């Protein structure tokens, strides 16, 4: 057998994640995130709150609107 080590692996793209759009309460687009988890970490808002808004279960959270579009 021959073993080898490759220190750099290409990052696998998570096909489950969806792009999340952040809006103010007037509907103005403020930011775009690669996933709800990324938006949660960046904004300090709970992940479940963001995903509920994206699914339409609530209208806004923490003064922002979110959608998957």
pLDDT at residue 10, rounded to an integer? 66
Predicted confidence (pLDDT) at residue 2 exceeds the cutoff of 80: no
**CA-closest candidate to residue 17, choices 45, 39, 42, 36:** 36
Supply φ then ψ for residue 20, to 5 degrees. Answer: -115, 135
Residues near 65 by beta carbon (within 8 Å), at least 6 away in sequence: 22, 23, 24, 25, 27, 53, 59
- Whole-angstrom Cα distance, residue 22 to residue 5? 41
Domains and CATH numbers, the chain: 20-68 (1.10.10.10)
**pLDDT of 38-49, one tens digit each?**
999 999 999 999
Number of H helices, E strands in the chain: 2, 3
pLDDT in tens, 14-38: 788 899 999 999 999 999 999 999 9
């Amino acid at each position: 057998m021959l073993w080898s080590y490759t220190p750099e692996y290409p990052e696998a793209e998570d096909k489950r994640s969806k792009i999340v759009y952040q809006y103010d309460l007037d509907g103005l687009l403020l930011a775009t995130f690669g996933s709800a988890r990324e938006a949660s970490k960046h904004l300090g808002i709970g992940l479940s709150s963001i995903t509920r808004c994206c699914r339409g279960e609530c209208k806004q959270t923490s003064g922002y609107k979110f959608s998957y579009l």
